[in-house]
Amino acid sequence: MSTPKIVRTKKELQTHVQRWHRAGQKVGLVPTMGALHHGHLSLVDYIAHSVDKIIATIFVNPTQFGAGEDLDSYPRQEKQDLEALSRTACDLVFIPDASEIYPDGFSTTVSLSGITEILEGAKRPGHFDGVATVVTKLLLMSRCNVAVFGEKDYQQLAVIKQVTKDLDLPVTILGAPLIREKDGLAASSRNAYLSEKERAIAAHLNQVLKECVTLIHTGTPLREAERIARQSLLDIGFESIDYITIVDPTSLKQLDSVTDINTARLLAVARLGRVRLLDNMPV
């Protein structure tokens, strides 16, 4: 492990990648918004098995934040992030300014129908257009062969797989497992916004989802299992539940029944204070 090289422009990025490609090396991309935790770092370990060189990107993408969301207060900690990456197999970190990604006159949006209109897309209009646009740009400008995204943001992963397929982007997309804190809470940069009391409540989200899966396995109808889980979360102290739903893992459409429980995914978002806590697991 050694300190990765830092680049801030597309041109510098491409100079390195061209050199690697000329040497026959396979290049992997790990896109992030920084404020790195062990969930992000696990993506570097995960992609290391598939590529020779690893690029991490740190870019708080303004176009995926809605009005009133936390763009301005989103944690930015470049120095700590670089220290954390220096303890991984990362070779290069791309840290562009917004003007490098969206120069004056930028006017293209990558927009998907269907999958982006439900769940997170319904709660955060325009969010996935911002994600799909920036990820498409990062995949193309880095000329990477493989890119990895966390199952933590399960819908985001599904959206990116869809864009890559629809636009024939020459990249393999990998989904890496969701990494949790010791008490089961999904690791997230936004967990830092939780008060001590909220943090204690937050750990129960994962517990309730596990109980919901058990209910399904013991024959509880899906709508009933979702209803019981929702009520448990409210009783525990979550302020509201944006959704708790059992879906098809590719289309993310809600399922009415599961004939094959291996092909269903439980997705949930619960609110505590200003934080929306995302979690999901296979049924």
Which residues contribute to the annotated binding site? 33-40, 64, 150-153, 156, 179, 187-190
* Residue 163 in tokens: 């864009």
The whole-angstrom separation of Cα 179 and Cα 87 is 18
Is 40 an active-site residue? yes
Closer Cβ to ligand AMP, 169 or 187, answer by number: 187
Closer Cβ to ligand AMP, 13 or 34, answer by number: 34
Is there a contact between 203 and 236 (Cβ–Cβ < 8 Å)? no
Q: Residue 180 CB, nearest distance to ligand AMP (Å)?
A: 7
Q: Residue 263 CB, nearest distance to ligand AMP (Å)?
A: 21
Nearest to 281 by CA among 254, 249, 257: 249
Strands (E), 113-216: 146-150, 172-176
Closer Cβ to ligand AMP, 225 or 252, answer by number: 252
DSSP 207-261: HHHHHHHHHHHTT--HHHHHHHHHHHHHHHT-SEEEEEEEE-TTT-PBPS--SSG
Q: Residue 51 CB, nearest distance to ligand AMP (Å)?
A: 16
Which DSSP symbol is given to 70? S
Q: Residue 169 CB, nearest distance to ligand AMP (Å)?
A: 16
| β-bridge mates for residue 265, sequence order | 247, 282
How many CB atoms are located within 10 Å of the residue 110 CB? 18
Closer Cβ to ligand AMP, 33 or 101, answer by number: 33
Q: Which residues lie near ligand AMP (CB under 6 A)?
A: 32-33, 39-40, 42-43, 149-150, 152-153, 176, 178-179, 186-189
Closer Cβ to ligand AMP, 21 or 126, answer by number: 126
Query: Which residue of this chain has its Cβ atom nearest to ligand AMP in the complex?
Result: 150
Q: Which residues are annotated as a binding site for ATP?
A: 33-40, 150-153, 179, 187-190
Distances (CA, A) of 235 to 176, 205, 238, 241: 32, 12, 7, 12
Active-site annotation holder among 16, 21, 40, 204 = 40
* Residue 207 in tokens: 């517990």
Q: Residue 251 CB, nearest distance to ligand AMP (Å)?
A: 19
Q: Which residues are annotated as a binding site for beta-alanine?
A: 64
Distances (CA, A) of 125 to 32, 101, 130: 21, 21, 10
Cite the active site residues: 40
